[in-house]
Structure 1
């Protein structure tokens, strides 16, 4: 038979575990809510998807215009 002292310790440990579980659950819930509200408030980056693709296209055209003559000059020397 379990002594009264052991029963009190077991009850204390059980209640402590339950309280700790509740506190951890509530903290995780608050963290999740704060992260989701922050993500919903985030604004579109400076360059949106359309602007990024337009910038990439412009960048590629510029690189082609600069380096095509260089490549042709190197090719004409048969390097």
Structure 2
């Protein structure tokens, strides 16, 4: 069963649109948090230190890569 070119374009457009929207939202959230005055917002100490957060992010990326590898290979073999 093949997916038509129009359907592929729509799926690709929706995916790229969602990714762009996500980037914009997170960028705006970061700017909002930076603009809040320190005296109005008391920051709590992070649960994890900087090194622990980097290790956690690295482990997360490895697990996502391993989990999605079959899907990526399947899509690549179909010419996506």
TM-score, length basis structure 1: 0.46
More helix by proportion, 1 or 2?
Answer: 1
- For the pair shown, which has the larger CA radius of gyration, 1 or 2? 1
